[in-house]
Structure formats: structure tokens, C-alpha cells
């Protein structure tokens, strides 16, 4: 690369540097990728648990991961309010920025609502709610006869599909920015 820069300097030209960009801080990036794995894994577990019930009982792990997502989401929101997110690229339009912010708000909301609705369902069940078998988590005062249980049950299923659609949209948008638009949006989180 030095040879190219030297040749450009001799010819009076300048090598164009890639546009400068700011990354999310290390904690934000770590939380993002840990939660991405947990959320995608839990979506898969939620969708596949009935089909795999004769092979493996995914529900205890599904519940524990869900509670982990809830706790990490609270940490992530606190971190987000403490540290500023890097700016979007200047060439990104106002509508695209609004859409990105909207999807992020919806994802944060779902990362709270999904585990809470699952906690409501698990609280009405007969099995203990444990965190990977290490300790029990408190159950909420809900029974299967409560309207809150029905709301949690239906909400969990519907919100799961919404979460899956948003995750696919989020990943697709990140890949579009990286491979089609060739801007630094994805690189900010790497």
C-alpha cells in the first residue's frame, strides 16, 4: 500500500482514506453480541421446543436464557443512557435514521416484554423457575385462571413472531449497509 501512496504523492494525487467513524464502546458491543446470540437462540428454542420434546427438554434453558435477556436488557438500557451512541453516517437520510431508531426502540421493548410475558407464564406453571439450575427465581403471583396469564401466554407467542421479524429486518438492514451501501453502520458494532 505504501507503494501506491508514494506513486500518488509523486503524481500530485492523494490516496483517499476510508471515512472515519466511531465505534460503539466495548461494553455496548459485547452486550449487543451476547444478547444477539441469546435472543436468536431463544427464538429458535421457543419455535422448536415442541418438535424436540421427545429428544430434549428445552424449556428450562429457554426460561433461564429469557431471564438472562431481561437482566441484560436492563443493564444495556442503563449503559445506553450513560454512554452516547456513535453518530450515523452523514449520508444516511432522516427517514433512514428515524427507521433505525424506531427498530432499536422496538427491539429494546421486545427484549423487555418477551421475558416478562414468559415470566408470567412460568409463574403460573407447576415447575420451579430456575436460572440454569443454580438458583430459583421468584414466581409472580399469577395462576392459570388469571387474565394476566392469558395475556402473557398470547402476548409471548405473538411478540415472538414480531421479534423474529424485527431481528431478520435488523440483520438484513445491517448487511445492506455493509454490502450494498458500503457505509460504516455495521462496522460501528464490530
The stretch 146-151 carries a mean pLDDT of: 95
pLDDT tops 90 at residue 68: yes
- Give the pLDDT band of residue 2 (cuts 50, 70, 90): very low
* φ/ψ (deg, to 5) at 52: -105, 5
| Measured distance CA(110)–CA(156) in Å, rounded | 10
Q: At what angle do helices 59-82 and 26-48 cross, to 10 degrees?
A: 150
Model pLDDT, residue 15: 42
The stretch 169-179 carries a mean pLDDT of: 94
| Measured distance CA(142)–CA(125) in Å, rounded | 9
| Measured distance CA(117)–CA(133) in Å, rounded | 21
pLDDT in tens, 9-63: 444 444 444 456 789 999 999 999 999 999 999 999 999 988 888 898 899 999 9
Mean pLDDT, rounded, of the chain: 89
Model pLDDT, residue 112: 98
Give which of 111, 130, 148, 131 is closest to 36, Cα–Cα: 111
| % of the chain at pLDDT higher than 90 | 74
| Ordered structural domains, the chain, with CATH | 24-189 (1.20.950)
Q: What is the pTM of this model?
A: 0.84
> Which string of DSSP letters, residue by residue, matches 85-97?
PPPPPTTS-HHHH
Model pLDDT, residue 88: 87
- Give the pLDDT band of residue 81 (cuts 50, 70, 90): very high
Long-range Cβ contact pairs of 149-155 (< 8 A, separation 24 or more):
149/120, 149/121, 149/124, 151/117, 151/120, 152/116, 152/117, 152/118, 152/119, 152/120, 152/121, 152/124, 153/117, 153/120, 153/121, 155/113, 155/117
Amino acid at each position: 500500500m505504501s507503494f501506491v501512496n508514494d506513486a500518488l504523492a509523486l503524481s500530485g494525487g492523494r490516496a483517499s482514506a476510508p471515512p472515519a467513524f466511531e465505534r460503539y464502546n466495548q461494553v455496548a458491543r459485547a452486550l449487543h453480541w451476547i444478547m444477539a446470540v441469546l435472543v436468536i437462540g431463544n427464538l429458535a428454542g421457543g419455535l422448536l421446543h415442541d418438535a424436540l420434546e421427545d429428544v430434549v427438554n428445552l424449556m428450562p434453558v429457554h426460561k433461564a436464557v429469557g431471564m438472562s435477556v431481561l437482566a441484560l436488557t436492563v443493564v444495556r438500557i442503563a449503559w445506553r443512557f450513560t454512554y452516547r451512541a456513535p453518530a450515523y453516517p452523514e449520508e444516511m437520510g432522516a427517514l433512514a435514521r428515524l427507521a433505525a431508531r424506531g427498530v432499536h426502540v422496538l427491539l429494546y421493548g421486545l427484549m423487555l416484554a418477551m421475558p416478562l410475558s414468559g415470566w408470567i407464564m412460568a409463574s403460573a406453571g407447576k415447575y420451579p423457575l430456575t436460572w440454569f439450575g443454580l438458583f430459583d427465581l421468584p414466581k409472580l403471583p399469577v395462576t392459570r385462571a388469571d387474565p394476566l396469564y392469558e395475556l402473557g401466554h398470547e402476548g409471548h407467542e405473538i411478540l415472538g413472531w414480531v421479534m423474529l421479524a424485527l431481528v431478520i429486518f435488523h440483520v438484513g438492514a445491517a448487511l445492506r449497509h455493509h454490502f450494498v451501501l458500503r457505509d460504516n453502520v455495521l462496522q460501528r458494532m464490530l
